[in-house]
Amino acid sequence: MAGLAPVKKLRIGSDAPDFEADSTQGRIRFYDYIENNWAIILCYPDDFTPVATTELIMLSCLQEQFAERNVKLLAMSTQNRLTARGTRYVSHEKWIQDVNDISPTPMKFPIIQDSEGLISRQYNVLDDSDVENIASSGVNVMTGPAFKSRTLFIIGPLKNGKHSIKLILNYPAAVGYSPEVLRVVDALQTADSARIRTPANWVGGSDVIVPKSVSDEEARENFPNFKPVKPYLRFVEMPPKKDENVESFYFLKGALVSISATLKNGKPVVSVGDTEHAIEPIA
């Protein structure tokens, strides 16, 4: 694949490249598929890898909560594992079947086929040498450093005809994603809609930060109850949201377990059996 056109390096705020590809749910054109929603793309070097499988299980359990936030999920794999006969790739549908064998919630989002690595190149997940190796027979592309990581993109809603990249996470093959992804979506959407910033470990309903670009005069007008801690650090209470369920998933002795919490009037309450425990803030 020599002579590939140069690809612009992607950063937070870059336009998300549009693409068209086959998937487990038919032919997909990315922008048409997500319309004016948010999206998460999970880029994988191969199917049937253990850590990635647990991530798809976790996201399947959370997919309804993502849907409530107008977020569409898509996985994408360069899929370089041949069948035992070495004649064709094992289907992505078989990987989804494996996920559904374990997950209490069926996986409803598609896996995109990127067997030539061209979409992964557009998204800077693979470089030109990786793409050329995919196209070369007899080359073990799975040993390259790019193939030992997984990249997650959070894509923002359509503005001025383009979707933009809101967040990029690059994880090594040895470490799996967590439900932190859902918290980050909440933080991004809140910051996007309310002209604020979210502090460390922010969850819905807790205090947010007035940006430095907003003067004290403007802050008093738009955030009358803001509390200055430092001249550059000003907190303000977010309006309380309706009760919202938040769930964390863990694998324990081979089984998937969860701990659920409910945000009640902006304060997290953890349920253990039939007993609720309010989480007290640090003074």
What's the distance, CA 69 to chain centroid?
12
CATH number of domain containing 30:
3.40.30.10
For 159, the 3-state DSSP assignment is strand
Summarize the confidence of residues 241-252 as an average pLDDT. Answer: 66
Q: Per the domain annotation, does 182 fall within a domain?
A: no
- 35 plus 167 within the same structural domain: yes
pLDDT for 96 beyond 90? yes
- 76 plus 208 within the same structural domain: no
Position 254 scores a pLDDT of 75
Cα separation, 283 vs 275, whole angstroms: 24
Q: Per the domain annotation, does 13 fall within a domain?
A: no
- 60 plus 156 within the same structural domain: yes
- 157 plus 250 within the same structural domain: no
Summarize the confidence of residues 184-200 as an average pLDDT. Answer: 91
Domain residues for the domain of 167 are 20-177
| Helix (H) and strand (E) counts in the chain | 7, 14
61-75 per-position pLDDT tens digit: 999 999 999 999 999
- 137 plus 32 within the same structural domain: yes
Q: Provide the residue type at 23 as one letter.
A: S
- 219 plus 269 within the same structural domain: no
103-149 per-position pLDDT tens digit: 999 999 999 998 888 898 899 888 777 777 666 655 565 666 566 67
Q: Per the domain annotation, does 171 fall within a domain?
A: yes
- 104 plus 215 within the same structural domain: no
The CA distances from residue 233 to 109, 183, 194, 224, in Å, are 40, 22, 17, 15
- 135 plus 100 within the same structural domain: yes
pLDDT for 238 beyond 90? no
- 254 plus 162 within the same structural domain: no
Q: How confident is the model at residue 282 (pLDDT cuts 50, 70, 90)?
A: very low
Q: How confident is the model at residue 255 (pLDDT cuts 50, 70, 90)?
A: confident
Q: Per the domain annotation, does 160 fall within a domain?
A: yes
Position 164 scores a pLDDT of 96
Q: How many domains does the chain fold into? A: 3
- 85 plus 133 within the same structural domain: yes
Cα separation, 170 vs 250, whole angstroms: 21
- 162 plus 59 within the same structural domain: yes
Q: Per the domain annotation, does 3 fall within a domain?
A: no
40-90 per-position pLDDT tens digit: 999 998 888 899 999 999 999 999 999 999 999 999 998 755 566 665 667
- 46 plus 152 within the same structural domain: yes
Decide which of 173 and 218 is more confident.
218
Q: Per the domain annotation, does 117 fall within a domain?
A: yes
DSSP conformational letter for 82 = B
Q: Per the domain annotation, does 204 fall within a domain?
A: yes
The CA distances from residue 44 to 3, 17, 30, 80, 153, in Å, are 25, 17, 17, 11, 12
Look at strands 255-264 and 165-172 and give their pairing: unpaired
Q: How confident is the model at residue 245 (pLDDT cuts 50, 70, 90)?
A: low
CATH number of domain containing 225:
3.30.1020.10
Of all residues in the chain, the percent with pLDDT exceeding 90 is 51
8-38 per-position pLDDT tens digit: 889 999 999 999 999 999 999 999 999 999 9
The CA distances from residue 211 to 65, 184, 202, 207, 236, in Å, are 28, 18, 15, 13, 11
Position 117 scores a pLDDT of 84
Q: Per the domain annotation, does 6 fall within a domain?
A: no
Q: How confident is the model at residue 101 (pLDDT cuts 50, 70, 90)?
A: very high
